[in-house]
Amino acid sequence: MNVAFDHLVHLTERPEQAKTAFEQWGFTAIHGGRHPSWGTYNALCCFEHLRYIEWIGIADEQTAKTCGNPLIDQLVADRQEGNGFSQFAFRTNNIGAVAAHLKRNGFTPIGPLPGSRERDDGKRLTWSMLFIEDDTDGAFRYPFFIQWGDGDDVRMNELAPLMRHPIGSVSLSSISLYTLGLERAVNGYRRLFDLPEPDVGRDEAGAYAELAVGGIAIRFYEADRRHPSTRPFSCRLVGMQEQRRIEIDGATYIVSKP
């Protein structure tokens, strides 16, 4: 399956505050816009290779609870646990081919579902989203897929100024997430993306299995069963001249040198 990592979703009560905090640390960040049909709004921080962080907040809880979009359903559920990373997406230029791939590999796709918002300059951004019917019994969560209305070349030109940061050329290189069944999660992702055996190792968060997908590394950890979670808990940003650990709104950003 030909996909590239697109973005990591960070649920927060006040996206504008996360944006301001990142600007104070030397990043370029922007207000995104509102999604009236979902009851949400966002702010963004873009990195090399069209990767970005989306800080998303719920402005209209009733709309969010009833809109029927699987991502928003997940955000509403995660909100009960608190702020933090929630989901992540891979980009494709052929969402129909991805849906066919999912079916061949034994998954049930949901969608594509439309999405849109209006930028501050008046341009309407459009996209399609594809989800996977959950067959995990809550042991882990699958990503979703997105196809933008504009091609990568158009988006690269428009977003180029936003991918430049005062602190350096920054890229999002990895995501770490919890599972309630490490082997099952890894095998699920291998089946999803047709991947080989994972690399294994241990770091400050514990033992992990790592898969390379769409230009980034995904590290899977077994959750502490006293505090069960299947959410991503940290990501790594590389390209800065100094190392830093940023804790904000329930999520950890590990900043490191190239």
Dump pLDDT digits (tens) for 211-222.
Answer: 999 999 999 999
pLDDT value at position 116? 83
pLDDT value at position 169? 86
CB-based burial label for 253 (10 Å; 0-12, 13-18, 19+): buried
Q: Is the pLDDT of residue 137 over 90?
A: no
**Percent of the chain whose predicted confidence (pLDDT) is above 70:** 98
When pLDDT is averaged across residues 3-25 and rounded to a whole number, the result is 96
pLDDT value at position 183? 94
Identify the CATH number of the domain in which residue 51 sits. 3.10.180.10
- Name the nearest CA neighbour of 58 among 37, 70, 76: 76
CB-based burial label for 166 (10 Å; 0-12, 13-18, 19+): exposed
How many independent structural domains does the chain possess? Answer: 1
Give the separation between CA 21 and CA 253, rounded to whole angstroms: 12
pLDDT value at position 124? 84
pLDDT value at position 128? 95
Q: Which residues pair with 247 in a beta bridge?
A: 252
At 131, give phi and psi (nearest 5°).
-115, 170
Q: How far is CA 257 from CA 107, 167, 169, 186, in A?
A: 38, 11, 10, 28
* Average pLDDT score over the chain: 92
Using the 8-state DSSP alphabet, how is residue 224 labeled? P
Give the separation between CA 177 and CA 16, rounded to whole angstroms: 25
Peptide bond into 15 cis (omega under 30): no
Q: Is the pLDDT of residue 123 over 90?
A: no
State the DSSP H helix or E strand holding residue 57, giving kind and residue range, or none if neither: strand 51-58
**Least confident interval from 22-31, 140-149, 233-242:** 233-242
pLDDT value at position 50? 95
When pLDDT is averaged across residues 155-172 and rounded to a whole number, the result is 90
Q: Is the pLDDT of residue 27 over 80?
A: yes
pLDDT value at position 18? 96
pLDDT value at position 119? 74
Determine contact, residues 82/250, Cβ cutoff 8 Å.
yes
pLDDT value at position 227? 66
**Percent of the chain whose predicted confidence (pLDDT) is above 90:** 76
- Name the nearest CA neighbour of 247 among 9, 6, 10, 71: 10
- 3-state SS, residue 147: strand
Residue 200, domain extent: 4-256
pLDDT value at position 117? 79
Model confidence pLDDT, tens digit, residues 55-109: 999 999 999 999 999 999 999 999 999 999 999 999 999 999 999 999 999 999 9
Q: Which residues pair with 255 in a beta bridge?
A: 237, 244
Split at pLDDT 50, 70, 90, the class of 138 is confident
Cα dihedral 108→111→117→119 (10° resolution): 70
pLDDT value at position 226? 66
The predicted model scores a pTM of 0.94
